[in-house]
Every structure is written in structure tokens, then in C-alpha cells.
Amino acid sequence: MPLIGERAPEFTAETTQGTIMFPSDYKGKWVILFSHPSDFTPVCTTEFMMFEKLRPELEKMNCALVGLSVGNVASHIAWLHSIREKIEYRGMRNVQVRFPLVADSTMEIARMYGMVSPSVSSTKAVRALFFIDPAGIVRATIYYPSTLGRNFDEIIRTLQGLQAVDRYGMALPADWRPGDDVVVMAADTYPAAEMRADDSGQDGMRCYDWYFCVKPWNNVVRPEQEREKIAETV
């Protein structure tokens, strides 16, 4: 299983959108690579409809979607056709999935990415999700069991947070949303800790102890046009 900070394993695969070479085909883009247990299953169907609904928003954030399951292209196409022709969920209907769905009939890719949990099933992938940055590095992972659908608000929030961290060199607190206060990285020396305490109040920074200081979002994202840029993307 690739860990956070490691390079995403490479593979070439057939998908519902043609052959892809991963992650090289997505160089310069963020990618959400996710697995699902099986075609023609209800929870997976709701997830694919939600992913397609969010796809335009993700594309505006320079992020592509790639799905994967243990199956062949013909089965994938038949299932996606069924979703478009027959399924309605939360007011969504006639949903045409436009992102690629990898056919991993040998399970080689699923095993390479640690998407198979043998204690649950040796023939199906769990709901694994990898955030891969434009350099092809794994930045975050989320796993769900087959019986629990994903939280799509958290998927968007995680991507927003990772992009904000990269762009502005900040740390983000629990339950952060764009516009919330950000965390100032803790001082790593005694003199720096003293200086941090002296700087409390400057540039909106509030220090509650030497290791815990926060800043308002608007004092981190500057100048004004940069605030507008981040508002558009996150």
C-alpha cells in the first residue's frame, strides 16, 4: 500500500474512457483515485452518481477522477448505462459518468494500492480513496467499508485543504473550512517560542500558549487578488 508522501505506483490499464497510463497521463493535475467493491451494487451506484455530480467542481480545482473495481470493461459499461437509463437518487437522474473506470479483473492494481482487505473479501476492493498531487505523490488516503458510502463533503474539504496548504504554507485545524482561522506552525526552538509569544497580536495572530497560535484566513491569503483566486478554486 502506498503511504502518504510516497510516489503513486504506476500502471497502464483499460478503462471505460480508453487506455490510461497512471499517473503520468495526469501530470500537473490533482487526481482522486478511488476503488469500489463491485458493479451493479446499490451503494456504489449512489457514489458514482455523486462523483459525477461533483466532477465539474473538481475539474475547476484542477482535479481529475479515476475509479477502479475488480471487473471488465464490458461489465463497467453495462453498469454505467444502467445508471444513466434507470437510476434516480436525490433528484439526480440520467447521470452519464464521464470519468474513467478502470477494469482491474486480475486485481493487480487493487493489490498494488492496498485496496483489498482479505479479512473482508479476497475478491473485491474496499472503498479506498487516494489524493494524488500534480507531482504524482500520495497526499492523503481515506478508507470506508463496503457497507458505508463515502462522505463527499469531506472529499471536497480534504482537497481544498491540501491545495491551501501547498499554496500558502499553513497548517489547518480540526474541521477547517475555507475562510476559517489557520494554525501557525509550532515553534521548534526556545528562542522561537519566546518570539512567537511576543508576536501575538501582530497581523491578527492570537497565541494561547507557545505552541498554539492561530491567524485569520484573510491575514494569510494576500493580496486581494490571491484571496479571489483561492475563493474560486476552494
Which residues are annotated as catalytic? 44
Which helix H or strand E contains 58, and what residues bound it?
helix 42-60
For 162-182, b/e burial (b = at least 16 CB within 10 A) is bbbeeeeebebeeebebeebb
- 170: Cβ–Cβ under 8 A, 6 or more apart, which residues? 164, 182, 183, 184, 185, 215, 220
The single-letter code of the amino acid at 151 is N
Cα 178 to Cα 29, 164, 174, distances in angstroms: 21, 9, 12
| 145-149: long-range contacts, CB 8 A cutoff, minimum separation 24 | 145/120, 146/37, 146/43, 146/120, 146/121, 147/43, 148/43, 149/43, 149/46, 149/47
Output the nine-digit C-alpha cell for 43: 451503494
